[in-house]
Amino acid sequence: MKELISVAFLLSMFSVSAFSQPLLDTTKIKLSYNLDNYPKVDGSTSTYPLACLIACRSIGVDFEWRKDFGEGSKWVRPLFIENEVENNAKFYQNIKYSGTHSAYVNLINSDADVILVAREPSEDELKLAGEKGVKLMLQPVAIDAFIFLLNKNNPVTELTIAQIQKIYTGEITNWSSAGGPDNPITAYTRERNSGSQELMEKLVMKDLPMIKDNEMVLMGMMGPINAIGSHTWGIGYSVYYYEHFMAPNEKLKLVAVDGIEPNYENLQSRKYPFTADVYAVIREDLSTYSNAYEMYNWFTTDEGQKIIKESGYVPIK
């Protein structure tokens, strides 16, 4: 169901079966564009494969999952046969991943037409929208989950919500207090306004004060994965889609929360405690005759949900 978000209202409310192998398929979909009329799409890092998959399907270009050798995560990449350099430039000009906060800012400033993000706008983003006189429309289009990561050599396999909260308020500082051995806990966090940090504060901590240690703040989606992969007694957080499909790491494991593992079935049923919707967001003043508006409405169609499932996300319906 689409939600029309009134900035003033929200400000009053805020205290503030996926593919893992390369797919080579040029099947077009009813959402049909070309490189010259494609909407400007932005979003979070974790939604970028979905955005690229939709673009490849709607343009009718071949694609594959390809590993980024710089940071180690996997992405959907178009495979243009003709005019590769020129077409790639056009493709990446319109399909970007600026990160959750920057994507919201770009949308508010009209530098993006549609964004795909794993959270609602933050207090800072709503404030900016209010200052600009902008109202946002958003609708859930897929299901993700907020997850906790441990090193595979840590014998702890599950935590309660209360234990996680106490770790991140600083009340629990040793794994022996959470069913593990006598070793100090290194609790990693993310930077302010990042998608992961906003989800942590909203879904998990709620009004509880989090520990503040600048040395434990990790930048970027690969930050927690790299840090915990090399630190047996660390704990951090991310979103399920990114860790499971984009940056799987044999050195890590996912924590069961209150005995419930984060997996496709438990996300689909919303049994896992920290399920989180993925949203498509546009400006309220976007023309209803635009390609971007057509795309916004397409996400929740049967075809849109089929492509969302193909990307690895759990469809919303």
User: Could you give all domains of the chain from N- to C-terminal order, each with its CATH number?
Assistant: 3-143+277-315 (3.40.190.10), 144-268 (3.40.190.10)
Q: State which amino acid sits at residue 57.
A: R
What is the pLDDT confidence band of residue 72, given thresholds at 50, 70 and 90? low
Q: In this structure, are residues 21 and 310 in contact, taking their beta carbons and an 8 Å threshold?
A: no
Which has more confidence, 30 or 265? 265
Report pLDDT digits (tens) over 77-134.
Answer: 999 978 889 999 999 999 999 999 999 999 999 999 999 999 999 999 999 999 999 9
Helix (H, G, I), strand (E, B) or coil at 220: coil
Contacts of 94 (CB under 8 A, 6+ apart): 35, 38, 39, 40, 41, 55
Question: For residue range 229-264, what is the model confidence (pLDDT) as tens digits?
Answer: 999 999 999 999 999 989 889 999 999 999 999 999
Provide the pLDDT confidence category of residue 15 given band limits of 50, 70 and 90.
very low
Residues 6+ apart with CB under 8 A from 287: 293
Instruction: Give residue 67's pLDDT.
Output: 76
User: pLDDT band at residue 69, thresholds of 50, 70 and 90?
Assistant: low
12's CB contacts (< 8 A; 6+ apart) are: none
For 86-102, the pLDDT digits (tens) are 999 999 999 999 999 99
Confidence of residue 193 (pLDDT cuts 50, 70, 90): confident
State which H helix or E strand residue 43 sits in: strand 41-43
CB-CB contact of 129 with 283 (8 Å): no
Q: How many CB atoms lie within 10 A of CB 82?
A: 6
Provide the mean pLDDT of the chain: 88
- Report field, pTM of the whole predicted structure over 0.75: yes
Using alpha carbons only, give the angle 91, 95, 99 rounded to the nearest 5 degrees: 145
Q: What is the pLDDT of residue 301?
A: 94
